[in-house]
Amino acid sequence: METLIGMVANGFIVLTNVIDWQRSRNLSMTDLILTCLSLARLAWLAAVILGVTMVSFFLSTYAFDHVHLMFTIMWVFTNSVNLWFAACLGVWYLMKIAIFSHPIFLQVKRSLSGLVPWLLLGSVVLSAFMTIINVTALKTGSSIYNPYKLLVSNSNESEIRKAAFSEMFVIINTGQNFIPLVLFVLSIIFLIISLWKHMKHLQCDGVSTSDLNTKAHLTALKALNVSTLYPSGHAIILILLNPKLKQAWVRMMPNLKCHLRKTPS
């Protein structure tokens, strides 16, 4: 159910933004990042579903080196792209909403809109490059690369090799995704600092803390929430917090209900 929700929610974000782009031939930087992030999550979910299906029902085929390698590359790459796009979203919200007067921050803020497409493209290229390096290192530097061969033959050694492979896989994948994860977390931290400074300033001036800037900070922090239902729950949060996506979802629901009523049971 979680996977299905993730597929529907992320697919809805992509479809809505693509239709909007076809109509207006214009897509905001926020919508561009959300579209890329949702596409990456759809690819990641597809890789997970295919991998689980192969292990569950076609283990003998999955045990072949080239098949196992292909699925390893798919998972590592889509997971890395996911984190890089999430980091781009965090940096974008930080630069768009946060209130800092440092010259470097202001300079980056002015030029970020033109850099967003290049940052997204660079995220894909860097993820592909790091995936090739890490998977190659995993394959050539370890005799435990493909434990599923022994699993097919019901060998006791397979469980030991699977555990060792999982440990090495986690280490390599963590190293690859360390930088985007740090960027994402720092974006949240600096948004919280900016919100705290803004609210403190308003309190000193005796102004209500429920102004538009405060609401913008809170909305951005909610949009960057690392949900335990990631990526399913996060996609739903993004829909509910984005006015355009929320309106499209509300408009779609009556049509969907009407279609379901007409569908014969």
Q: How far is CA 100 from CA 35, 86, 160, 198, in A?
A: 28, 22, 52, 10
What is residue 76's predicted lDDT score, i.e. its pLDDT? 86
For residue 265, is it within any domain? no
Query: Both tokens of residue 155?
Result: 């060998």
The CATH number of the domain holding residue 147 is 1.20.1070
For residue 55, is it within any domain? yes
What is residue 228's predicted lDDT score, i.e. its pLDDT? 47
What is residue 38's predicted lDDT score, i.e. its pLDDT? 93
What is residue 87's predicted lDDT score, i.e. its pLDDT? 92
What is residue 78's predicted lDDT score, i.e. its pLDDT? 92
Side-chain-side CA neighbours of residue 8 (13 Å): 11
Phi, psi (rounded to 5 degrees) for 258: -65, -40
For residue 261, is it within any domain? no
Output Rg (C-alpha) for the chain, integer angstroms: 22
For residues 90-114, one letter each, b for 16 or more C-beta atoms within 10 angstroms of the residue's C-beta and e for the rest, the string is bbbbbbebbeeeeeeeeeeeeebee
For residue 147, is it within any domain? yes
For residue 263, is it within any domain? no
For residue 162, is it within any domain? yes
The mean pLDDT values, 10 residues at a time, for the chain of 265 residues are 84 91 88 93 91 85 80 88 92 90 87 90 93 76 57 57 62 78 90 87 70 82 70 79 85 68 58
Please count the structural domains in the chain: 1
3 close to 48: Cβ distance less than 8 angstroms = yes
229 close to 3: Cβ distance less than 8 angstroms = no
For residue 264, is it within any domain? no
125 close to 117: Cβ distance less than 8 angstroms = no
Supply the range of the domain harboring residue 49.
2-256
Distance CA 164, CA 179 (A): 25
For residue 262, is it within any domain? no
What is residue 239's predicted lDDT score, i.e. its pLDDT? 84
